[in-house]
Amino acid sequence: MRAITKRTLALTAAIAGFALIGSGCHATKSNESTSSATAPAMSAMSSSAAMPSATSAAPTTTVTGANGTPYTVEGPILAKYQSLTDAQLKDLGKPYDNEQKTKDGSGSYQQFDGGVLIYRTGSPVYFVWGKIRDQWNKLDASQGKLGYPTSDEQILPDGSFKSVFEHGTVTWKTGDPDATVTMS
């Protein structure tokens, strides 16, 4: 009797394994839910979480822009977007484009009404916004003489704001018409 029980358990585990592998091989890019046909097989496995996923698509979300158009926010930019405070999200605004590659191909960015989320491949994503972003954009943004950002904006003791870039800094104080660029 024990031998039959062991064989039955082994067969059930094998079927569950094939069902998991089969569902992973047929998973779509949109990470659709597992079909109801494989659900019983999956529940028969005591630890399906221990099995590696057959797909590892980057997380994505859709954010509706101010114009009513849905835009995809994904990957490292999505992680940064989700880490922003409510005040930062308000300053950032709504997206008005999907993620784009920088002209030099070494980074990516996504434009929003009030700011941009940008990174050089292999570096963190930074948030550049407001008057500092305006001044940086006047100098051709990441492709200009300041280069890519190397930090998020900081608030200085005097109440001014500062963003550091590869080749300089941009500062702005409330009430000033424009931000000030200091090259390093």
Spacing of C-alpha 85 from chain mean position: 15
Does the reported pTM lie above 0.75?
no
DSSP codes joined into one string, 56-77: -PPPEEEEE-TTS-EEEEEHHH
pLDDT in tens, 85-141: 999 999 999 999 999 999 999 999 999 999 999 999 999 999 999 999 999 999 999
Domain extent listing, the chain: 2-50, 60-183
Three-state DSSP at 19 gives: helix
Beta carbons of 63 and 94 less than 8 angstroms apart = yes
pLDDT in tens, 133-167: 999 999 999 999 999 999 999 999 999 999 999 99
> Which amino acid, 10?
A
Residue 116: closest CA among 100, 184, 30 = 100
State how far the Cα of 168 lies from the Cα of 146, in Å rounded to an integer.
6
State how far the Cα of 104 lies from the Cα of 137, in Å rounded to an integer.
16
